[in-house]
Amino acid sequence: MSTTIQTKTPTVKGPAEWFSGDVYFNAYYSGDEPSRARLNLVRFTPGARTAWHKHAVGQTLHVTEGVGYVQSRGGELIEMHPGDTVHTPAGEWHWHGATADQFMCHLALWEAPAPETGEPETTWGEKVSDAEYPSAAR
Protein backbone atom coordinates (compact mmCIF):
# COMPACT_ATOMS: atom_id res chain seq x y z
CA MET A 1 0.00 0.00 0.00
CA SER A 2 1.14 3.49 -0.73
CA THR A 3 -0.23 6.88 0.19
CA THR A 4 -3.16 7.55 -2.09
CA ILE A 5 -6.42 9.44 -2.24
CA GLN A 6 -9.10 6.86 -1.56
CA THR A 7 -11.94 6.08 -3.91
CA LYS A 8 -14.95 8.20 -2.94
CA THR A 9 -17.67 6.35 -1.09
CA PRO A 10 -21.30 7.13 -1.87
CA THR A 11 -23.52 9.05 0.53
CA VAL A 12 -25.83 6.47 2.06
CA LYS A 13 -29.25 7.02 3.63
CA GLY A 14 -29.33 5.89 7.26
CA PRO A 15 -31.50 2.77 7.60
CA ALA A 16 -34.95 3.36 9.08
CA GLU A 17 -34.40 0.69 11.77
CA TRP A 18 -31.45 2.69 13.19
CA PHE A 19 -32.60 6.29 12.67
CA SER A 20 -35.71 8.47 12.99
CA GLY A 21 -36.01 11.06 10.24
CA ASP A 22 -33.61 11.60 7.35
CA VAL A 23 -29.95 10.90 8.05
CA TYR A 24 -27.14 10.50 5.52
CA PHE A 25 -23.63 9.28 6.06
CA ASN A 26 -20.35 8.77 4.28
CA ALA A 27 -17.93 6.11 5.43
CA TYR A 28 -14.54 7.80 5.08
CA TYR A 29 -12.39 5.16 6.72
CA SER A 30 -12.82 1.53 7.72
CA GLY A 31 -9.48 0.06 8.71
CA ASP A 32 -8.25 -3.38 7.83
CA GLU A 33 -6.70 -5.43 10.64
CA PRO A 34 -4.73 -4.61 12.67
CA SER A 35 -6.56 -1.26 12.37
CA ARG A 36 -10.14 -1.43 13.54
CA ALA A 37 -10.80 2.32 13.30
CA ARG A 38 -13.93 3.66 11.62
CA LEU A 39 -14.63 7.25 10.54
CA ASN A 40 -17.97 8.43 9.19
CA LEU A 41 -19.45 11.84 8.47
CA VAL A 42 -23.10 11.78 9.51
CA ARG A 43 -25.61 14.42 8.43
CA PHE A 44 -28.89 14.72 10.35
CA THR A 45 -31.80 16.77 9.02
CA PRO A 46 -33.85 18.76 11.58
CA GLY A 47 -35.58 16.41 14.01
CA ALA A 48 -33.57 13.37 12.86
CA ARG A 49 -31.72 11.25 15.41
CA THR A 50 -30.26 7.82 16.00
CA ALA A 51 -32.11 5.11 17.87
CA TRP A 52 -30.76 4.23 21.31
CA HIS A 53 -27.50 2.32 20.83
CA LYS A 54 -24.12 1.48 22.35
CA HIS A 55 -20.64 0.99 20.93
CA ALA A 56 -18.50 -1.92 22.12
CA VAL A 57 -15.34 0.24 22.21
CA GLY A 58 -16.96 3.67 22.65
CA GLN A 59 -17.31 6.48 20.13
CA THR A 60 -16.07 10.03 19.67
CA LEU A 61 -18.23 12.61 17.88
CA HIS A 62 -16.92 15.91 16.49
CA VAL A 63 -19.57 18.39 15.42
CA THR A 64 -18.77 20.16 12.15
CA GLU A 65 -22.02 22.05 11.49
CA GLY A 66 -25.40 22.94 12.96
CA VAL A 67 -26.83 22.25 16.41
CA GLY A 68 -27.41 18.82 17.90
CA TYR A 69 -28.07 16.76 20.98
CA VAL A 70 -26.43 13.80 22.64
CA GLN A 71 -27.83 12.01 25.68
CA SER A 72 -26.83 8.93 27.63
CA ARG A 73 -29.42 6.68 29.23
CA GLY A 74 -30.52 8.42 32.43
CA GLY A 75 -28.17 11.33 31.72
CA GLU A 76 -28.70 15.00 31.03
CA LEU A 77 -29.45 16.26 27.53
CA ILE A 78 -26.31 17.86 26.09
CA GLU A 79 -26.55 20.44 23.29
CA MET A 80 -23.66 20.18 20.82
CA HIS A 81 -22.21 22.90 18.59
CA PRO A 82 -19.58 23.05 15.84
CA GLY A 83 -16.14 22.38 17.28
CA ASP A 84 -17.47 20.31 20.19
CA THR A 85 -15.95 16.87 20.67
CA VAL A 86 -17.99 14.38 22.70
CA HIS A 87 -16.92 10.93 23.87
CA THR A 88 -19.37 8.19 24.76
CA PRO A 89 -17.72 5.40 26.78
CA ALA A 90 -17.66 1.74 25.77
CA GLY A 91 -20.99 0.03 26.33
CA GLU A 92 -22.91 3.19 27.33
CA TRP A 93 -26.42 3.43 25.84
CA HIS A 94 -27.01 6.82 24.17
CA TRP A 95 -28.49 8.63 21.20
CA HIS A 96 -27.42 11.65 19.11
CA GLY A 97 -29.04 13.79 16.49
CA ALA A 98 -30.10 17.20 15.23
CA THR A 99 -32.26 19.66 17.11
CA ALA A 100 -35.84 20.00 15.92
CA ASP A 101 -35.06 23.18 13.95
CA GLN A 102 -31.46 22.80 12.69
CA PHE A 103 -29.33 20.43 10.69
CA MET A 104 -26.40 18.83 12.51
CA CYS A 105 -23.34 17.16 11.02
CA HIS A 106 -20.70 15.29 12.98
CA LEU A 107 -17.70 13.13 12.34
CA ALA A 108 -18.00 9.83 14.18
CA LEU A 109 -14.86 7.91 15.12
CA TRP A 110 -15.04 4.47 16.67
CA GLU A 111 -13.28 1.14 16.70
CA ALA A 112 -14.49 -2.37 16.12
CA PRO A 113 -13.87 -4.73 19.03
CA ALA A 114 -11.22 -7.41 18.61
CA PRO A 115 -12.64 -10.14 16.36
CA GLU A 116 -12.15 -12.85 19.01
CA THR A 117 -14.68 -11.10 21.28
CA GLY A 118 -17.46 -11.79 18.78
CA GLU A 119 -19.08 -8.51 19.91
CA PRO A 120 -20.82 -6.25 17.38
CA GLU A 121 -19.34 -2.76 16.84
CA THR A 122 -22.70 -1.19 17.63
CA THR A 123 -25.74 -2.67 19.35
CA TRP A 124 -29.05 -1.02 18.41
CA GLY A 125 -32.09 -0.66 20.66
CA GLU A 126 -35.44 1.07 20.47
CA LYS A 127 -36.17 4.35 18.69
CA VAL A 128 -35.96 7.63 20.61
CA SER A 129 -39.64 8.38 21.07
CA ASP A 130 -41.26 11.74 20.43
CA ALA A 131 -41.74 11.96 24.22
CA GLU A 132 -38.00 11.46 24.82
CA TYR A 133 -36.94 13.81 22.02
CA PRO A 134 -36.84 17.53 22.91
CA SER A 135 -39.03 18.89 20.14
CA ALA A 136 -39.87 22.14 21.95
CA ALA A 137 -38.12 25.28 20.73
CA ARG A 138 -34.77 25.75 22.43
Minimal distance, residue 96 CB to Mn ion, in Å: 6
Minimal distance, residue 62 CB to Mn ion, in Å: 12
Measured distance CA(31)–CA(48) in Å, rounded = 28
* CA-based torsion, 80, 46, 42, 97: positive or negative: positive
Report the residue number, 70 or 100, with the smaller CB distance to Mn ion.
Answer: 70
71 lies in the site for Mn ion, by CB under 5 A: no
Report the residue number, 59 or 71, with the smaller CB distance to Mn ion.
Answer: 59
Q: How many chain residues are in contact with Mn ion, going by CB under 5 A?
A: 1
Radius of gyration of the chain (CA): 15
Helix (H) or strand (E) holding 40: strand 37-44
Report the residue number, 9 or 40, with the smaller CB distance to Mn ion.
Answer: 40
Site for Mn ion, residues 39 to 68, rule: CB under 5 A: 59
Minimal distance, residue 47 CB to Mn ion, in Å: 18
Give the alpha-carbon dihedral of 93, 97, 99, 103, to 10 degrees.
170
Of residues 60, 109, 54, the one with CA closest to residue 80: 60
- Residues of this chain that interact with Mn ion (CB under 5 A) are 59
